A and B are shown apart, each in its own frame.
Chain A
Amino acid sequence: MNLTKELEIQKAEIRGYAEGYNLDFYETIFEMVEFDELNEVASYGGFPTRYPHWRFGMEYEELSKGYSYGLQKIYELVINNDPCYAYLMKCNNLVDQKLVMAHVYGHSDFFKNNLWFSHTNRKMIDQMANHGTRIRRFVEKYGEETVEDFIEVCLSLENLIDPHLPHIKRKAENSKVNGKQTEDSENISPLRLKSPKAYLDSFINPEEFLEEQKQLSKERKLEKRKRNPEEPQRDILQFLLEYAPLERWQSDILSIIRDEAYYFSPQGQTKIMNEGWATYWHSTIMTRKCLTDAELIDYADHHSGTLMTGSGRLNPYKLGVELFRDIEDRWNKGKFGKEYEECEDWQVKANWNKNLGLGLAKIFEVRKLYNDLMFIDAFLTQEFCRENNLFVYEFNDRTDYYEISDRDFQVVKQKLLFSLTNFGQPAIYVEDANYFNRGELYLKQRHEGVDLKMQEARDTLANLFKVWTRPVHLETVVDEVKTLMTFDGLEHSEIEIDQ
C-alpha cells in the first residue's frame, strides 16, 4: 500500500461511509500506479504475475494506444481476491480518486456476497503467480515457441466450459460411494406398464413382454456404457483433460487455462449487476456524503462519462444502476406483486405508493442471489424499457448497416436474455469420443437460432485437433441446414446431414 497521506484520510472516510451503508467487503488495498503500469496490470487481466504470453502484449498495445490517443482510459481496476486489490491512477485528481474508491468498495462487497462468486478462488493472486511459475518452468524446459503455441491452442478453446458447473454436485463425484453397486448389479428392473388393478398385471405385463423389456434396457445400458461420455458433457476442457492424449506439461497448461476461465466466468455472468451495484454506491456515497462544493462539477463530468450511452450502445454501468434504482423505487412504493401487476389503470399504477420502504433491503437481496440473466428476466419491466429507450438492432444485408429493428418490450427482453445466456456464447457439448468407432471426437452445438462464425469455427476445430490428435467434428446449423463440420488434420469439410 502506497497511498499518500491525503488519500489515506479519504480512504478511511469513504470506508466509514460504506460500512455505514452496511456494505460488507473484503479488506481492500489500494495501489497507486502510473498510467503505463495500470495499462500493464490491465493487460494481464488484473494479475501482474500472470504467465507470459504475447496476447497480453497485444492487449497492452491496444490499451496504450487507446490511452495515448485519448480514446479510452481505465477508470478502475479491482481484483476479486481476499484481500481485494484495487489500483488508482497517480495522475487522477482527488475527486476522481474518491469516486474510484467508493466504486471499488461497491465491487468488493459484490465479490464477497454475490452467490455466483461464491466458488471463485479468493487467493487467486497467489494462484496466478503459481500458474506463472509453472508455465515459466515449462518454457525453460520445452522452449518458448512450443509452450506458446500450446497455450494459444488452449486459449482458443477456453470458452468451452460449463459456467454452471461450480454450483452443481455431479453424480461422478458422489457416486464414488454408492455408484459401484448400481453399476455392478445385474438385476436390471425392467420397464413395467402400470396396471390399474393388481389382478390385471399378468395381462398387461405378460412374461414375454417383461423379458423383452429386460433385454432392451440391458442393451440400452450396454450401449450407454460403451459411449463416452455417457451423457453429453458441456465442460469440454475437463473432458479433454481426462481423455485427450496429452503430455504431463500439456495437461498442466490446459488445466491452468481451465482454472482461470472458471475464475473469470462469474465476472462475465454479472457484468451488468456488478457495475450497476458499484455505480449505485459510488453515486450514493459521493452525492450524499463526501463531495465538497468545489468538486461537484468534476464529479458530475466524470460520473456522466461513466454512464454515457453513445451511438446506441448498451452501457452496462448505466443499465445496471438504473435497474437497481428502479427496483429500489418499486419496492419502496410496493409496486410489485399480484395486485400491482393486475391493475389496468395506468394512472393508478403510476401513482402507486404504499410506502413500504423495502427498497434497500430488496436491492441487497438482489445483489446476493442474482446474476445478469436472472436480473434482467426478473426486473426489466415494460415501463423501464420505454423510459430508457431500449431497442433491438439487426444487420441489414441490403444497406450493410446495423439498424434499429424493433422497440417492442417482449422482443427487447427476449434478445437481451438471449445475449446473456451463457454470456452470448454458443452452447457446445461433447457427444461422442469414439465417433465411427475410430476415436474421433464429435461435438454438437445446441443451436438457438444463430449460426457460428464459420471461419473462426474452422480455425478453432483445427486447434481442437491439435489436442485430440484424431479427426474432430462439430454438428451445427448453417443457414437452417444441419451441417457437420469436420477437420481431419489435413483439410476442412462441411457436409449437410439430414434428420
Chain B
Amino acid sequence: MVKKIDKDHARFRQIVRGKVKKNLRKYITQGELIGKQGKELVSIPVPQIRLPHFRYSSKKAGGVGQGKGDVGTPIGRGDGGEIPGVGDAPGQHILEVDVSLEELAEMLAEELELPNIEAKGKKNITSDKNKYTGISQVGPESLRHFKRTYKQALKRQLISATYNPLDPIIIPVREDRRYRSWKVTSKPESNAVIIYMMDVSGSMGDEQKEIVRIESFWIDTWLNYQYKNIETRYIIHDAIAREVDKETFYHTRESGGTIISSAYKAANKMIDEFYNPNEWNIYLFHFSDGDNWGEIDTDECVMLLKEKLLPKINLFCYGQVESPYGSGQFIRDLEDFLLDEENIVLSEIPDKDGIYDSIKEFLGKGR
C-alpha cells in the first residue's frame, strides 16, 4: 500500500538532494563528509532546511533542568546542539541527512557531467550466490520459519474456531509448518582495482596529504558506484617504495628524496602478481609534488609507463599537488613525453579548491 506520507517524504528527499547538489562543490573541497562515511551511507549536514521563526537565542536564554550536580557542572555542549527546554521545543541542531554512497555518486556524476565507465571488453567473471528468497512447505527442521509457522497455525485455529482469546494457546500441526527455501543465482562481475601511489618525501606536507585524501575519497565513491567489486591497494614512496595499508598511506611522513620510478616498479610488480589485465580493470593514481630526483629517473618513469604500465591498465592519473618545496617539473616532463597516450590524465591541484576540477579531469574520460 502506498502511504500518504511517502509523497511528502519523497518531496523532502528531493529538496535535500537539491540542497546537497547545490553545495556539492563546498562538500567536495572541505572534505567534511569523509568522517561521516559509513558502510553504505554518508550523513550530510544540510543547513537551513528548518523553517525560520522569530525565536530566542538559546545560548542567552538558558533554562531549567533537573538532576544532581554542583553549580558549575557542565550538562551539555554548546556547539549547535541545543537542550530542549520545557514544552519540548525541538532542538535546532543542523539536520543531518543520510544519503547512500550510490546516490552521492549519481549527484557527483550529474554535477560534474561524468560519463559512465565502459569496462574493458574482457570476459566477465560470474559467481554463484545462495539467497534465501522463499518459503516452502517442506524442508529441514533447522530452516523452520517460526513466525510463518505460528501465523499459519493461528489462522487455521481462527478459521476452525478453536482459538480462545482468553487462553491463547496455538499448537501447530504438520501442515502448518513453513520452511525457508533458497535460490542459486549467478552474478556477472567485473572486477576493478585501484592502486594509489603517493609521494611521502619531506616536501609533501599535511595540507598536501589532506588534498590527496579528499580527492581519493571521491574517486573511491565514483569507482565503487561503477564497479560492484573493487579492491584498493596503497603504495607510498620516497626513494624506495613499499605497500602499506590505508591508515599508513594517509598519515606517514618520511623525509627522504624522491625516486618516482620505484613506485611504478612496485605497481607493475603488483599487477603482474595479482591482477591479470585480462580479468581486471586497473586504475592507477599517483600523487606527488613533482619534485623527482634527477632526469635519469624521470626518463625511467616514462619508459616504465609507456612500455609496462599503460598497455595493461584502464587509466593512469597523475595529480600534482602544489607544494612550497617542489619544483613541479615532473608533470611537464610527462606532458612532453606522453602526450599522445590516451589513457593518461595529468592534473595540477594548486589547493583545496582545485580538487573539484581535478576530479572532473580524472574521471571525465569515461574509461
Q: With A309-B66, A390-B65 as given contacts, are A460 and B60 in contact (CB-CB < 8 Å)?
A: no
B129 adjacent to chain A (CB < 8 Å): no
Q: Contact at B3–A37, with CB atoms within 8 Å?
A: yes
User: Cα distance A319–B227 when bound, in Å?
Assistant: 56
Q: With A316-B87, A415-B64 as given contacts, are A57 and B9 in contact (CB-CB < 8 Å)?
A: yes
Of B15, B54, B63, most buried by chain A (CB within 10 Å of CB) is: B54
A453 to chain B, nearest CB (A): 4
B165 adjacent to chain A (CB < 8 Å): yes
**Among all A-B residue pairs, the 8 with the closest Cβ atoms:** A57-B12, A459-B52, A57-B8, A57-B9, A401-B74, A394-B62, A312-B75, A312-B65
Q: Contact at B57–A60, with CB atoms within 8 Å?
A: no
A155 adjacent to chain B (CB < 8 Å): yes
Q: With A309-B67, A400-B77 as given contacts, are A420 and B86 in contact (CB-CB < 8 Å)?
A: yes
Q: Contact at A401–B78, with CB atoms within 8 Å?
A: yes
User: Cα distance A39–B9 when bound, in Å?
Assistant: 12
User: Cα distance A453–B60 when bound, in Å?
Assistant: 9
Q: Contact at B52–A456, with CB atoms within 8 Å?
A: yes
A142 to chain B, nearest CB (A): 16
Q: Contact at A60–B64, with CB atoms within 8 Å?
A: no
20 inter-chain pairs at a CB distance below 8 angstroms, sorted by A residue, are A4-B165, A6-B166, A53-B8, A54-B15, A55-B8, A57-B5, A58-B95, A155-B51, A309-B66, A312-B66, A314-B64, A314-B86, A316-B86, A316-B87, A389-B68, A393-B62, A405-B72, A419-B63, A450-B57, A455-B52
The 0/1 profile, CB within 8 Å of B marked 1, for residues 417-451 of chain A is: 00110011110100000000000000001000011
Point out the residues of chain B lying under 8 angstroms from A272, CB to CB.
86-87
User: Cα distance A370–B3 when bound, in Å?
Assistant: 39
A202 to chain B, nearest CB (A): 54
Point out the residues of chain B lying under 8 angstroms from A474, CB to CB.
54
Q: Contact at B12–A450, with CB atoms within 8 Å?
A: no
User: Cα distance A312–B65 when bound, in Å?
Assistant: 5
A257 to chain B, nearest CB (A): 11
Which of B5, B56, B84, B86 is close to A40, meaning CB atoms less than 8 Å apart? B5
Which of A5, A40, A61 is close to B12, meaning CB atoms less than 8 Å apart? A61
A457 adjacent to chain B (CB < 8 Å): yes
Point out the residues of chain B lying under 8 angstroms from A481, CB to CB.
none
B59 adjacent to chain A (CB < 8 Å): yes
Place the interface of chain B in its size category.
35 or more
Point out the residues of chain A lying under 8 angstroms from B12, CB to CB.
54-55, 57-58, 60-61
Q: With A48-B4, A54-B12, A312-B65 as given contacts, are A404 and B87 in contact (CB-CB < 8 Å)?
A: no
Which of B54, B85, B168 is close to A457, meaning CB atoms less than 8 Å apart? B54
B76 adjacent to chain A (CB < 8 Å): yes
Q: Contact at A156–B60, with CB atoms within 8 Å?
A: no
Q: Contact at A318–B66, with CB atoms within 8 Å?
A: yes
Q: Contact at A160–B64, with CB atoms within 8 Å?
A: no
Point out the residues of chain B lying under 8 angstroms from A156, CB to CB.
51-53
A46 to chain B, nearest CB (A): 13
Q: Contact at A60–B63, with CB atoms within 8 Å?
A: no
User: Cα distance A58–B11 when bound, in Å?
Assistant: 9
Which of B7, B65, B97 is close to A52, meaning CB atoms less than 8 Å apart? B7
User: Cα distance A456–B49 when bound, in Å?
Assistant: 11
Q: With A403-B73, A406-B71 as given contacts, are A426 and B54 in contact (CB-CB < 8 Å)?
A: yes
Give 4 A-B pairs besides A4-B165, A43-B5, A402-B62 with Cβ atoms closer than 8 angstroms: A43-B8, A313-B65, A393-B83, A460-B54
Enumerate A65-81 residues with CB–CB distance to B below 8 Å.
Answer: 65
Q: With A61-B9, A420-B87 as given contacts, are A393 and B64 in contact (CB-CB < 8 Å)?
A: yes
A33 to chain B, nearest CB (A): 11
User: Cα distance A388–B85 when bound, in Å?
Assistant: 16
Q: Contact at A372–B87, with CB atoms within 8 Å?
A: yes
Point out the residues of chain A lying under 8 angstroms from B49, CB to CB.
58
A113 adjacent to chain B (CB < 8 Å): no
B57 to chain A, nearest CB (A): 4
Q: Contact at A390–B52, with CB atoms within 8 Å?
A: no
B31 to chain A, nearest CB (A): 23
Point out the residues of chain A lying under 8 angstroms from B56, CB to CB.
424-426, 450-453
Point out the residues of chain A lying under 8 angstroms from B71, CB to CB.
403-407
User: Cα distance A151–B187 when bound, in Å?
Assistant: 48
A311 adjacent to chain B (CB < 8 Å): yes
The 0/1 profile, CB within 8 Å of A marked 1, for residues 244-287 of chain B is: 00000000000000000000000000000000000000000000
Point out the residues of chain A lying under 8 angstroms from B64, CB to CB.
314, 390-393, 412, 415-416, 419
User: Cα distance A61–B75 when bound, in Å?
Assistant: 28
Enumerate B23-60 residues with CB–CB distance to A below 8 Å.
Answer: 48-49, 51-60
A482 adjacent to chain B (CB < 8 Å): no
User: Cα distance A61–B72 when bound, in Å?
Assistant: 37
A392 to chain B, nearest CB (A): 6
A36 adjacent to chain B (CB < 8 Å): yes
User: Cα distance A454–B8 when bound, in Å?
Assistant: 30
Q: With A156-B51, A400-B79, A453-B57 as given contacts, are A56 and B68 in contact (CB-CB < 8 Å)?
A: no
Q: Contact at A311–B75, with CB atoms within 8 Å?
A: yes
B61 adjacent to chain A (CB < 8 Å): yes
User: Cα distance A407–B35 when bound, in Å?
Assistant: 40
Q: Contact at B75–A404, with CB atoms within 8 Å?
A: yes
User: Cα distance A400–B74 when bound, in Å?
Assistant: 9
B332 adjacent to chain A (CB < 8 Å): no
B271 to chain A, nearest CB (A): 43
Point out the residues of chain B lying under 8 angstroms from A428, CB to CB.
54
Q: Contact at A61–B55, with CB atoms within 8 Å?
A: no
B294 adjacent to chain A (CB < 8 Å): no
User: Cα distance A363–B255 when bound, in Å?
Assistant: 78
Point out the residues of chain A lying under 8 angstroms from B52, CB to CB.
156, 455-457, 459-460, 463
B89 adjacent to chain A (CB < 8 Å): yes
Q: Contact at B75–A424, with CB atoms within 8 Å?
A: no
A51 to chain B, nearest CB (A): 10
Point out the residues of chain A lying under 8 angstroms from B15, CB to CB.
54
B53 to chain A, nearest CB (A): 5
Enumerate A395-415 residues with CB–CB distance to B below 8 Å.
Answer: 395-396, 399-407, 412, 415
